[in-house]
Structure 1
């Protein structure tokens, strides 16, 4: 199994990603960051998910604010960041280690093998890269749920995880690590709806039934905001390509994060031109990101839901 560390801000879709990962990867731990709620809540939510699924992995709390400015929690997940689920209270505390330290130590321990899944704002990852310059080459790759090759969601141009800390995202995108991107253009191809919640209920067991409740709440919030009780399968889509590469297609792009423009702040600007360079033109910047462009959405959602349903079978 591929060793994996998840940096997250649970979060309904983060929770699904954690449960999915525990079945398909060697899950080394969870690090938490602000985002869907304050970091105290996201850390507690991560511990609750571990308690629910009986995952014996370390959880380390991390950064509580962006590198520049402040942030507003994404209320689509509710006040706790994980409303709508009757989760068990955690029996243990976070480890006595900062998330940044855990990222560095786990990468060093599994040099060249560890996949770092960053499915929240990229603050922890940026600080870890700044703290330990060798981190980029220690990692096998960083897989990010964030950004978009087309329209945004937190603004017309920016996706929420990137917009919550654009400076951190810019630092991560400019590092020397191999970066895989599951942007909104990719995650919107895999749609969750109420039929998926019903499939989980039919599976039975504490984990599937709890996730069904989470989905009910989350889809209801999406219906109130967007008019339909559906949601893209955001965070698990950053992990599916490692397990089911047959379901996806990626393409390499040079991507930068816009920082200067108030209108475009947080936009992931991808050079998607397919042109032949003239002799008098400078070399274009090298591609720095492998971005998802196509996914068999129905097959991917079925695969993830079946994985979570498997918890009901022990």
Structure 2
């Protein structure tokens, strides 16, 4: 097996593509999947993650449920208007029932167990709100040496989606995002909206995925509500695979080009709450936050082909 990976997720259609990408990649050792509230409530994100792993013929991968709400301020708005009421365009029931029971450990407990047992540092790919990761780093600071890097999907340099300036995963729990991104010292790569939107795939790409076999057909079958939303956002028939872009970087380091900038998170109660403040000045004066890698570019066609070829060749 190749690089070791833990995915923390809130499936979500783009999460489904991301989980499948890791689950079917022979050069990835997917140690575990942890779930968090986000696109839909925790009960649904957890059920979806388990069904997706079953779809990928990966009942060997443990799943543990994590935070059902943000660290500090309760936030009742999810993204069901984007992903459908069940998180998968109303088609979660089309996926096979999971055969592996849910872990008795919670998300943080499973991550600690997997990290402690690993003989080498592990990449963590959080592709939902950062609540579980903040709790892990706060409660188990000694475990940080077992984390090689955190590759997260979240934030925006020049745009938002939940608000004019805030991306959903950060906006859903800004305090957790601040703890992970702006305050800690674990190496961090932020994959923002600015890049994920440029990696959007069109209906021709989805048709190739659907024609590739049972896995591709099942994944394409989860996209109707998501496609309807992004038809309005993009102006063409296509979807944005936000989380799959981040997981591509997690499993193939360097597939995204990054630049290092100081990044802070707005945790105030005002209209900028959840904004990622990316300081791109050549000579920052008293920058806040901390320097992290921000993904800014990729070979767009190469990235799309990387994801498609792996999903098409999957189980």
State TM-score, norm by structure 1. Answer: 0.92
User: How far apart, CA to CA, are the structure 2 residues paired with 1:225 and 1:300?
Assistant: 21
Q: Which residue of 2 aligns with 1:83?
A: 89
2:259 match: secondary structure: strand
Q: Which residue of 2 aligns with 1:203?
A: 212
1:60 match: secondary structure: strand
Q: Which residue of 1 aligns with 2:185?
A: 176
CA contact (8 A) 1:84 1:213 kept: no
Q: Which residue of 1 aligns with 2:256?
A: 248
Q: Which residue of 2 aligns with 1:212?
A: 220
**Do the aligned partners of residues 199 and 124 (structure 1) sit closer, same or farther apart at CA in structure 2, a change above 3 Å counting?**
same
Residues 154-199 of structure 1 deviation map (CA, whole Å, 9 limit, x = unaligned): 1110000000000110011111100011011121120122112210
1:49-128 mapped onto 2 (5 Å cutoff):
49-55=52-58, 56-67=60-71, 68-75=73-80, 76-85=82-91, 86-110=94-118, 113-128=121-136
Residues 259-313 of structure 1 deviation map (CA, whole Å, 9 limit, x = unaligned): 11511000010111002x7xxx76x5685311101112221112101111112xx
**Do the aligned partners of residues 269 and 27 (structure 1) sit closer, same or farther apart at CA in structure 2, a change above 3 Å counting?**
same
Is 1:28 aligned to 2:34, yes or no? no
Runs of 4+ more than 6 Å apart? none
Q: CA deviation at 1:227?
A: 4.6
Where do 5+ consecutive residues of structure 2 fail to align? none
Q: CA deviation at 1:237?
A: 1.1
User: How far apart, CA to CA, are the structure 1 residues paired with 2:293 and 2:105?
Assistant: 31
CA contact (8 A) 1:137 1:176 kept: no
CA contact (8 A) 2:16 2:52 kept: yes
CA RMSD of aligned residues (A): 1.9
**Do the aligned partners of residues 219 and 238 (structure 1) sit closer, same or farther apart at CA in structure 2, a change above 3 Å counting?**
same
Q: Which residue of 1 aligns with 2:311?
A: 308
1:140 match: secondary structure: strand
Where do 5+ consecutive residues of structure 1 fail to align? none
Q: Which residue of 2 aligns with 1:166?
A: 174
Q: Which residue of 1 aligns with 2:3?
A: 2
**Do the aligned partners of residues 219 and 112 (structure 1) sit closer, same or farther apart at CA in structure 2, a change above 3 Å counting?**
same
1:171 match: secondary structure: helix
1:7 match: secondary structure: strand
Answer with 169-178 or 128-137: which moved more: 128-137
Residues 4-35 of structure 1 deviation map (CA, whole Å, 9 limit, x = unaligned): 00000011111111111121410001000000
Q: CA deviation at 1:216?
A: 3.8
CA contact (8 A) 1:257 1:266 kept: yes
User: How far apart, CA to CA, are the structure 1 residues paired with 2:54 and 2:120?
Assistant: 30
State TM-score, norm by structure 2. Answer: 0.91
